[in-house]
Structure 1
Amino acid sequence: MSKFDLKVRYKELYRASTSAFSEVSVPPLSFVKVDGEGDPNTASAYRTAVTSLYGVSYAMKFAAKALGCDYVVPPLEALWWSDDPSSFVRREKDRWCWTVMIAAPDFVTHAMFESAVMRAERKRGTSPGSLRFEPYLEGRALQILHIGRYDDEGPTLKHLHDEVMPSRGVTFNGPHHEIYLSDPRKTEPAKLKTILRQPIR
């Protein structure tokens, strides 16, 4: 059985230049999501959210595989926002709000999600209250590939906010979006690969 892979189906969404921002058009995709706020390095809610996402996502994958539709679980993603966007440049993490999320192919149904939640809760206990499965339409966006530590993203984001977006006559149209292509548990911080994406209008 061949595995469906969103990273292959939508190559342009999971690949980007490291030297310049490129524009992409992101189609509607469905995600398992959990909301929260605070520093992801210290907030226990963030760790709980990520654990819940993976538990449910893999339970959905196994349910799909049983029906003959196996797929590769996509990488972790997150939406980030703050009342002051410059807090990302300054890395004031305690002021951040977030939605962590993992995508799923369109053949995964809401019924499969609900069944996966029950299966995951039998193993790990109660899920976060904001856990849900829903479509997300991002549309037009600018993105770049960042290689290195998460805390080194600041200059790239400042360049985006202060120079790239004004020069193109566009503004913010949704929260800052990151796609984590590397596993931080297995990858040196200097080699982490992260897509930095900003929806625009």
Structure 2
Amino acid sequence: MKKTYPALYAAKATPSLLDVPERTCLMVDGSGDPSGDHYRAVVEGLYGVAYAIRAELKPVLTYSVAPLEGLWEGTPDDRAAMRWTMCIPQPARVTSETAARAVHAVRGKKPGANVDGIRLAPLAGGEAAQILHTGPYDEEPATVETLLKFVADQGLTVAGRHHEIYLSVPGRTAPEKMRTIIRYPVASR
């Protein structure tokens, strides 16, 4: 995905506009605190399915699994009430049948992973504004404020959910070095 759509993974610390194409993704919806056990099990299941698909396609297609993305609703002040859709973009060759086989395989091999509700679906595209946040997740509000001011200054309005692309892996990257793209779909006022 990074080679096919380099602009989608190359945000800078200053806001910019870009046209995001529709992409096919593995997706799963959920709610609750993203630092909780349920969220971790769902993300583990999503990654498990993504890697199972890659293994099935390996004889004819070699690729890296794309970064995890999240669409969020709610406020950090009430993490338990947050609603989210986590996604991992997939190559065009992946079908619903491929995804169903991978879900079945992961369900049998990884009992701690939650694969319930994982589906292959399109992630809508369109005009968006984005910015790169470097640092811990709890410091994102200042970056979001910068992005929203940019959106307003362009005469645009936010037209969808808060979207994050995780370029770093928590636990493997120091919090101050974490890199997250923050993106909002936008429309004319």
Code of the residue aligned with 1:11 in structure 2: it is: P
- Alignment counterpart, residue 95 of structure 1, candidates 76, 81, 105: 81
DSSP 3-state at the match of 1:158: helix
Code of the residue aligned with 1:135 in structure 2: it is: P
Counterpart in the other structure of 1:76 = 68
Moved over 6 A (4+): none
Counterpart in the other structure of 2:40 = 47
Residue pairs, 1:64-143, within 5 angstroms: 64-66=57-59, 68-82=60-74, 87-88=75-76, 91-125=77-111, 127-143=114-130
**How far, CA to CA, are the matches of 1:179 and 1:171 in structure 2?**
21
Counterpart in the other structure of 1:146 = 133
Deviations along 1:28-75, one digit per CA (max 9) or x if unpaired, are 111111111122012x22111101101100000011113x11211011
- Count the aligned residue pairs: 186
**How far, CA to CA, are the matches of 1:121 and 1:38 in structure 2?**
22
Counterpart in the other structure of 2:49 = 56
Shift of 1:168: 1.4
- What's the C-alpha RMSD, in Å, of the aligned pairs? 1.5
- Alignment counterpart, residue 18 of structure 2, candidates 4, 24, 29: 24
Pair 160,92 (structure 1): closer, same or farther in 2 beyond 3 Å: farther
TM-score normalised to structure 2 length: 0.92
Code of the residue aligned with 2:24 in structure 1: it is: S
Residue pairs, 1:122-201, within 5 angstroms: 122-125=108-111, 127-161=114-148, 163-201=149-187
**How far, CA to CA, are the matches of 1:127 and 1:194 in structure 2?**
24
Name structure 2 gaps, 5 residues minimum. Answer: none
**How far, CA to CA, are the matches of 1:119 and 1:128 in structure 2?**
10
**How far, CA to CA, are the matches of 1:127 and 1:73 in structure 2?**
19
DSSP 3-state at the match of 1:92: helix
**How far, CA to CA, are the matches of 1:165 and 1:103 in structure 2?**
26
Considering fraction of residues, name the structure with more strand: 2
**How far, CA to CA, are the matches of 1:144 and 1:170 in structure 2?**
16
Shift of 1:138: 2.5
Code of the residue aligned with 1:146 in structure 2: it is: H
Percent of aligned pairs with the same amino acid: 39
**How far, CA to CA, are the matches of 1:116 and 1:129 in structure 2?**
12
Q: Does structure 1 conserve the Cα–Cα contact (< 8 Å) formed by 2:107 and 2:115?
A: no
- Alignment counterpart, residue 5 of structure 2, candidates 3, 10, 23: 10
**How far, CA to CA, are the matches of 2:106 and 2:115 in structure 1?**
12
DSSP 3-state at the match of 1:200: strand
DSSP 3-state at the match of 1:153: helix
